[in-house]
Amino acid sequence: MKQRHFSMLRDFHLADWFTLANAFCGTGAIFAAMRFLQEGGVRDLLVGMALIPLAFVFDALDGRIARWRKVASTLGRELDSLADVISFGVAPAALGYACGLQGGWDWVVLSYFIGCGVSRLARYNVTAEQLSGDAGKVRYFEGTPIPTSVAIVGVLAVAAWSGAIGPSLWLGVVHLGPWQLHPLVLVYALSGSLMISKTLRIPKP
pTM: 0.85
Question: What pLDDT, on the 0 to 100 scale, is given for residue 62?
Answer: 72
| DSSP-based three-state secondary structure for 140 | strand
Question: What pLDDT, on the 0 to 100 scale, is given for residue 171?
Answer: 94
Pairing of strands 179-181, 201-203: unpaired
pLDDT mean over 133-149: 73
**Do the beta carbons of residue 196 and residue 145 sit within 8 Å?**
no
pLDDT mean over 185-201: 92
Confidence band (pLDDT; 50, 70, 90) for 1?
very low
Task: Report the mean per-residue pLDDT for the chain.
Answer: 86
Convert the pLDDT of each residue in 157-188 to its tens digit: 999 999 999 999 999 999 999 999 999 999 99
Question: What pLDDT, on the 0 to 100 scale, is given for residue 76?
Answer: 64
**Do the beta carbons of residue 153 and residue 185 sit within 8 Å?**
no
pLDDT mean over 64-90: 77
Question: What pLDDT, on the 0 to 100 scale, is given for residue 137?
Answer: 57
Q: How many CB atoms lie within 10 A of CB 66?
A: 21
Distance of CA 130 to the CA centre of its chain: 24
Convert the pLDDT of each residue in 14-72 to its tens digit: 677 888 999 999 999 999 999 999 999 999 999 999 999 999 999 888 767 756 556 66
**Helix extents (H) in the chain:** 7-10, 14-39, 42-69, 74-85, 91-99, 104-132, 150-161, 186-195
The continuous run of DSSP H or E covering 185 comes out as none
Enumerate domains of the chain plus CATH numbers.
Answer: 7-203 (1.20.120.1760)
